[in-house]
Structure 1
Amino acid sequence: MPTLRPAPADLPAELRVVVDYRKSGLSLNHVVGCPLDCGYCVRHLFRNFSMKQPHLVMDDVKAVDQLVGHWAFRPDTTPLQIFNRATDPFLPGVKEHLFATLEELDRRRLANPTLVITRWKIEPDDVARLEKLKYLRLTVLITWSGIADDRIEPAASSIAENSMKVLKSNALRTKSILYWRPVIAGLNDSDHHLERARELSFLTDATVFTGLFHRQEIRDYFRDVGVPDLYPSVARRKILPAETEQRIIAAFAGRPLFRKTSCGVAYAHQTADYNGHFGIREICDICPVEQFGRCASSHRQPDLAAISKLAELAQLDVTTMDVNGRRIEVQGSTEQQRYFMQHSLNFQVHDRGSPHFYGRHGRAEVGWD
């Protein structure tokens, strides 16, 4: 097993916190550093993009202990993500820690939905090891963009395409998603890109498409390497213009296509969406009939007693909350607080300070009327 270097003493403090809550689940990141140089990487936001060599923050068992000991962790319920913030899980050396982490969770007989996101090489031996897991409900999301500009994405998309083929040929229990991201208007949304993405969709259990985080740090990086501004402004949420979305939906007619990661994962495993997007019904207008039915049959507006109990655990003010058939609305919350409640209830939780507008599907306003 290749040995990773210990993380340096000057590692940013937020990267020493190896467990945090994100929309698709409780995220475990005890390896940091990546050589792939994807220009849009969220590591820009953690002041860690310059660390090209993966480093180990703590050993795998200790990391799993922190994950399952987190106040928000619920056995068999809380969605999990492994190495999705600071490295690629299938890099040489890193993937040994990925396997060890998954196997440790599985050894504890945990059946949580578990997501692994990669754009790197998956080999048949890797799939064979994943297939030995007995309890975790594992999904591998393969990031593919079709972007040919090395300044934006140096790693060839053919690598991800081959990984899809390997999973298609070797996986039974392990589910796979074509994770088409970031879709950037005018860059990788041509008719050729749409046609290629549709072709690749036959290699996976579902396709999820999403836009670009265009934060100031990412725009500054692109300017430094000579890439003209991809959009006229930065935004807190991902940018995906309405026109681009409609062209993608038209191109994928008859194929399982999803706007949200958890929707694609749920379809692959034939379960209802754990994020409760069904309450925001316009998100579901592209879903396959069978998936719409699964989510419809499980969708329930939670009662105030259940909401209040979870709000207290999350240390949220119950008196400021409002609930209807679409969402629970809270005030002054963090993402961690909201997503804990959302995953516990399978029901959307929004904050008044960051409103969701009808039909925009939680995206930035750029490119929408």
Structure 2
Amino acid sequence: MNELAIEHLKSGLSINTHIGCPLGCKYCVLSTIDNYEGRPQHCATPKELIDAILSKDSFYVKDQTPLYINNRTDPFLPDVMDSTYDLLSLLSDYEIKSPIMLITKLSPDERISHYFENLNILFFYTYTGLPHGIDFNSDRRINENNLRQIYSYVPKKSRFLYVRPIIPGINDDQLLFEDIVQRMGVHFDTITVGGVRIFEKNKEQIYPLLGKEIGEVDSKHKYIESEFYHRIIPLSHKYNVNIVRHTSCAIARFMKSKVKLNYFKHANHCNSSCSNYDICSSQSKSLADDKELQHQLDDFISNRRNYEYSFEQNSIHIKGHAEQQLISFIQCTFGISAKADAVKLCPSEQSFLSKHDVNHAVR
């Protein structure tokens, strides 16, 4: 099976029947994956993916680890859509209760409506407000048609508007964002805002798009100006809509649980007006005192890889080299911080990043 077919991201496990996307959005990191430009290429069957993640040595905990479906392509491209539905059918057959993310610039057909009763689906519709030629659905007619389909087939509690990427000087205007909130956001449960990922291999594509100069950026993270995020938060009160910074925050809201990643109360990542704030602020045992969680971690790490590790107050420390995917799995599944002396990047990150970026990312 292709190594990109199943891969842990920061906030969940990505499972893919196809890789590659023809939509041509100029900022998208998928365009930097070697050999996957243009039409999506088949890489695994739905049954192969489900069998793999449910195997005993998989970094997946049933009903707990978040799943991203076909996010190495677009899950509702004509060549991909049937496989997306086949995956959802299998997840329903196995009674999977993990949060399931579908992130798309397109619209589903009526088949999607059959899955919301049995599955915890978060349907993220990506819209940017970027000028025509930079983003696929900046065409108003395409966007309006997509919205009609989404409003018809996706229940509001499962609708998430993903406004990304926010590119400085292009679509970070206050009036533009307020128009998006007023015209679209009020019809979604939550608005998630995201920045733009800039690294050595794509900077020649990204920098000409910028409407103003920015300083040095961290290639490991999406860039978004903190001033923008704080500026838009009052719109959540004005229009009675929830605005969050991360998909993991949206997952926490949907599942009515604490955010798994370490964003709570962190400046530029969290805001006290979030409807899930009280849940995230609830007290829980520290890892050092939670013997049940320690036992669960022992089971899922020591039985799969030969790692030396130790438990600290609220984190786990892995000695020597560890896979980035293991660290992501621990954080997004168990909600605790994980660190290692050195990190081996996952396959997609190795493809995204140049040797220059990799040297700065691995430590």
Q: Give the Å deviation of 1:206.
A: 0.5
CA distance in 1, matches of 2:6, 2:248: 19
Q: Which residue of 2 aligns with 1:23?
A: 10
Count of matched residue pairs: 329
Residue by residue over 1:23-74, the C-alpha shift from the partner in whole angstroms, topping out at 9 and shown as x without a partner, is 1211101212211011122223421452x11221122212221222252111
Q: Give the Å deviation of 1:174.
A: 6.5
Q: Give the Å deviation of 1:164.
A: 4.0
CA distance in 2, matches of 1:20, 1:39: 24
- Give the conservation status (yes or no) of the 8 Å contact 1:210–1:238: yes
Note if 1:153 corresponds to 2:123.
no
CA distance in 1, matches of 2:146, 2:257: 25
**Superposition TM-score, scaled by structure 1 size:** 0.78
Match of 1:317 among 290, 295, 308: 308
Residue by residue over 1:105-158, the C-alpha shift from the partner in whole angstroms, topping out at 9 and shown as x without a partner, is 1111111111110011333x1432434x51x211111111100141x3243264
Match of 1:34 among 21, 38, 42: 21
Note if 1:71 corresponds to 2:53.
no
CA distance in 1, matches of 2:333, 2:69: 19
**Superposition TM-score, scaled by structure 2 size:** 0.79
SS in 1 for 2:7: strand
Q: Give the Å deviation of 1:259.
A: 1.4
Q: Give the Å deviation of 1:346.
A: 2.1
Q: Give the Å deviation of 1:189.
A: 0.7
Q: Give the Å deviation of 1:241.
A: 1.4
Match of 1:246 among 219, 230, 248: 230
Residue by residue over 1:225-265, the C-alpha shift from the partner in whole angstroms, topping out at 9 and shown as x without a partner, is x6568745452211111222222223433531111211112
Q: Which residue of 1 aligns with 2:192?
A: 208
Deviating above 4 A after TM superposition, structure 1's stretches of 4 or more consecutive aligned residues are: 226-234, 279-282, 313-316, 327-332, 350-354
Match of 2:250 among 259, 264, 268: 264
- Give the conservation status (yes or no) of the 8 Å contact 1:20–1:28: yes
Note if 1:302 corresponds to 2:302.
no
- Give the conservation status (yes or no) of the 8 Å contact 2:318–2:338: yes
1:169 to 1:62, Cα distance in 2 relative to 1, 3 A: same
Match of 1:128 among 94, 113, 118: 113
CA distance in 2, matches of 1:42, 1:219: 11
CA distance in 2, matches of 1:345, 1:328: 11
CA distance in 2, matches of 1:244, 1:280: 16
SS in 1 for 2:233: helix
CA distance in 1, matches of 2:334, 2:265: 12
- Give the conservation status (yes or no) of the 8 Å contact 2:102–2:122: yes
Aligned partner of 1:95: which letter?
M
1:251 to 1:293, Cα distance in 2 relative to 1, 3 A: closer
CA distance in 2, matches of 1:298, 1:81: 28
Which has the higher mean CA deviation after the structures are superposed, 257-266 or 268-277? 268-277
Aligned partner of 1:64: which letter?
I
CA distance in 2, matches of 1:301, 1:317: 21
Q: Which structure is higher in strand share?
A: 2
Match of 1:137 among 114, 120, 124: 120
- In structure 2, the gaps of 5 or more residues are 344-363
- In structure 1, the gaps of 5 or more residues are 1-12, 355-369
CA distance in 1, matches of 2:174, 2:265: 32
Aligned partner of 2:106: which letter?
W
Bigger relative contact order, structure 1 or 2, given CA contacts below 8 A and separation 6+? 2
Q: Give the Å deviation of 1:302.
A: 1.9
SS in 1 for 2:253: helix
RMSD value over aligned CA atoms? 3.0
CA distance in 2, matches of 1:347, 1:280: 15
Question: Identity across aligned pairs (percent)?
Answer: 23
Which has the higher mean CA deviation after the structures are superposed, 200-209 or 159-168? 159-168
- Give the conservation status (yes or no) of the 8 Å contact 2:169–2:211: no
Which has the higher mean CA deviation after the structures are superposed, 99-108 or 256-265? 256-265
